[in-house]
Amino acid sequence: MSFTQPKGGYNTLDAASYLNLSPGTLEVWRSLGKGPRYCKVGRRVVYRREDLDSFLASRTVETCDTAEILRGRYA
């Protein structure tokens, strides 16, 4: 699947595929006020690529090893 952003943004199915989640997970998260930002266009739910990327970036977990690399202890 190509992840070039369609002109109108990603629908739930495409956004779920991009995040490697099930569409149902995104639907539940929306009902709970969780997950990535989205837009409502009429009844349609639309996700922008930058919001999906930002959501992924906000879930980055630093391990002890990566933290030490970032502090310059390993070169």
CA–CA distance, 70 with 74 (Å, rounded to integer): 8
Above 90 in pLDDT, residue 71?
no
Above 90 in pLDDT, residue 5?
no
Whole-model pTM over 0.85: no
* Tokens describing residue 2: 């190509």
pLDDT digits (tens, 9 = 90+) for 16-35: 999 999 999 999 999 999 99
CA–CA distance, 20 with 8 (Å, rounded to integer): 21
* Tokens describing residue 13: 């199915």
pLDDT digits (tens, 9 = 90+) for 40-66: 999 999 999 999 999 999 998 888 877
